[in-house]
């Protein structure tokens, strides 16, 4: 009999914790990351309705696409932190000297959603 009484509070706590997680996820601010290539210089911006929490100092990871996107064989290529430049939070890898297909990603945080940019092609300007 004692076991049955103990199970009810555990189930109630599990259900309420799940509801809190769903509410927290809904409250996260949208975040957008972009990527552009000028030759083999990769750069972009991070935007959000809450720039102080979701764009400022946000780590951007650049992946080199190998084969079909999302195939699990893409490689982490570079990273940078978005910093204020004028009225945007910009990031840049500098001139990598590497051609190929690339995309940028910001991971979700407690307050902000994550995002992945479209794939772009970087080619040398010889």
- Worst-scoring range by mean pLDDT, 62-71, 78-87, 99-108? 62-71
Assess if residue 45 is contained within a domain.
yes
Assess if residue 118 is contained within a domain.
yes
Assess if residue 24 is contained within a domain.
no
Identify the pLDDT of residue 15.
Answer: 44
The tally of domains found in the chain comes to 1
Assess if residue 51 is contained within a domain.
yes
Residue 106 has pLDDT above 70, yes or no: yes
Q: Contact 70/28 with Cβ under 8 angstroms?
A: no
List all residues 6 or more positions away from 75 whose beta carbon is below 8 Å from its beta carbon.
63, 64, 66
> Quick one: average pLDDT of 93-98?
94
DSSP H or E run through 7 = helix 2-26
Q: What CATH number does the domain containing 112 carry?
A: 2.60.40
What are 15-49's pLDDT values in tens digits? 444 444 555 556 899 999 999 999 999 999 999 99
Mean pLDDT estimate for the chain: 85
> How far apart are alpha carbons 86 and 89 in whole angstroms?
8
Assess if residue 7 is contained within a domain.
no
Q: Which domain holds residue 118?
A: 32-122
Assess if residue 3 is contained within a domain.
no
């Amino acid at each position: 009999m004692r076991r049955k009484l103990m199970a009810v509070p555990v189930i109630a706590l599990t259900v309420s914790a799940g509801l809190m997680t769903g509410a927290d996820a809904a409250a996260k601010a949208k975040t957008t990351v972009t990527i552009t290539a000028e030759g083999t210089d990769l750069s972009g911006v991070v935007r959000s309705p809450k720039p102080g929490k979701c764009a400022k100092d946000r780590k951007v990871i650049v992946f080199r696409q190998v084969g079909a996107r999302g195939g699990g064989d893409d490689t982490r290529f570079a990273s940078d932190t978005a910093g204020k430049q004028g009225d945007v939070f910009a990031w840049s890898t500098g001139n990598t000297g590497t051609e190929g297909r690339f995309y940028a990603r910001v991971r979700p945080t407690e307050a902000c959603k994550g995002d992945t940019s479209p794939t772009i092609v970087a080619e040398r300007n010889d």
